């Protein structure tokens, strides 16, 4: 087997991730950030998994004159956003998390790992999506384990600039989710999504994919709706 994405990192980047793992274990009992707390599992299911689209980002960075940016929405204990921030120093990375204690933990990680390129915001994504400072400004908006495609398309799609991408870390259920999710992405201004399979060394047999859709039109002003309406009727239904 070739090198894993973790093995391809520099010593400095790996040291940062080791410190991240120690902070996660130390604070997890109090904050209940994750069920994955065995060091080996943290490496594969949090770090390697977060790094799944790394080549895509490096390729993007090599082909743009912009300072590339990404927003990770519903980042919990900092996944995948802060792992990416540790290995993509050229990127401006904004990690958005609705729960205060999780955002506070992420702020601690940013300080301890000295992630100068990362910013943590304790707010709801659908609120930020309607603010001019954030609306349609990011090259990428990512999410992992936040909700169905339809839900995350609406709460995160308004953050992506035209020409940028929506990414969602998914498993085999994505085909079902796409029955309404593909329409939701279209309403938010995205082209038909593609699925990019990936593997981690912990879960060779798991059927993991990155769902990727390119923004081709501006998101209509009426989206995202307030969360109470999003919850009542998912977009695309």
Ligand X SMILES: C[S@@+](CC[C@H](N)C(=O)[O-])C[C@H]1O[C@@H](n2cnc3c(N)ncnc32)[C@H](O)[C@@H]1O
Known binding-site residues for S-adenosyl-L-methionine equal: 74, 79, 97-99, 125-126, 144
The answer to the question of residue 211 lying near ligand X (CB under 6 A) is no
Max alpha carbon distance in the chain (Å)? Answer: 48
The answer to the question of residue 101 lying near ligand X (CB under 6 A) is no
Residue closer to ligand X by CB (options 191, 225) is 225
Residue window 29-48: x/- pattern of binding to ligand X, with contact defined by CB under 6 A: --------------------
N residues, the chain: 237
Q: List helix spans (H) across the chain.
A: 11-31, 39-41, 49-50, 54-62, 81-87, 100-112, 125-128, 149-157, 174-187, 227-232
Contacting ligand X (CB under 6 A), which of 53, 68, 106, 126?
Answer: 126
Is there a contact between 85 and 93 (Cβ–Cβ < 8 Å)? yes
Query: What percent helix, strand, coil does the chain show, rounded to 5?
Result: 40, 20, 40
Contacting ligand X (CB under 6 A), which of 9, 51, 125, 174?
Answer: 125
The answer to the question of residue 121 lying near ligand X (CB under 6 A) is no
Contacting ligand X (CB under 6 A), which of 51, 87, 113, 155?
Answer: 155
Candidates 20-28, 85-93, 111-119, 142-150: pick the segment binding ligand X (CB under 6 A). 142-150
Contacts 24+ apart (CB under 8 A), 201-209: 201/1, 201/4, 201/44, 201/48, 202/40, 202/41, 202/43, 202/44, 202/45, 202/48, 203/44, 203/45, 206/171, 207/171, 207/172, 208/49, 208/52, 208/169, 208/170, 208/171, 209/170, 209/171, 209/174
The answer to the question of residue 75 lying near ligand X (CB under 6 A) is yes
Contacting ligand X (CB under 6 A), which of 14, 27, 101, 124?
Answer: 124
Contacting ligand X (CB under 6 A), which of 98, 109, 118, 160?
Answer: 98
Residue closer to ligand X by CB (options 39, 163) is 39
The answer to the question of residue 76 lying near ligand X (CB under 6 A) is yes
The answer to the question of residue 154 lying near ligand X (CB under 6 A) is no
Contacting ligand X (CB under 6 A), which of 97, 139, 154, 177?
Answer: 97
Residue closer to ligand X by CB (options 147, 164) is 147
Residues that bind ligand X (CB under 6 A): 73-77, 79, 96-99, 102, 124-126, 144-146, 155
């Amino acid at each position: 087997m070739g090198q894993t994405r973790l093995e391809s990192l520099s010593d400095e980047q790996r040291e940062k991730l080791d410190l991240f793992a120690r902070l996660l274990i130390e604070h997890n009992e109090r904050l209940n950030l994750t069920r994955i707390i065995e060091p080996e599992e943290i490496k594969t299911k949090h770090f390697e998994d977060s790094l799944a689209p790394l080549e895509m980002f490096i390729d993007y960075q090599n082909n743009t004159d912009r300072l590339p940016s990404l927003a990770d929405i519903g980042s919990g204990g900092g996944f995948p956003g802060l792992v990416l921030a540790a290995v993509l120093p050229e990127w401006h990375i904004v990690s958005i998390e609705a729960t205060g204690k999780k955002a506070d933990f992420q702020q601690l990680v940013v300080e301890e790992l000295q992630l100068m390129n990362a910013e943590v915001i304790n707010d709801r994504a659908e609120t930020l999506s309607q603010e001019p400072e954030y609306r349609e400004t990011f090259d990428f908006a990512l999410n992992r384990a936040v909700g169905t495609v339809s839900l995350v398309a609406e709460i995160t799609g308004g953050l992506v600039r035209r020409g940028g991408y929506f990414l969602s870390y998914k498993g085999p259920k994505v085909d079902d989710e796409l029955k309404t999710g593909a329409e939701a992405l279209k309403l938010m201004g995205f082209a038909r999504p593609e699925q990019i399979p990936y593997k981690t060394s912990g879960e060779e047999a798991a059927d993991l994919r990155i769902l990727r859709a390119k923004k081709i039109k501006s998101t209509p002003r009426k989206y995202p709706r307030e969360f109470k309406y999003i919850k009542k009727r998912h977009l695309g239904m």
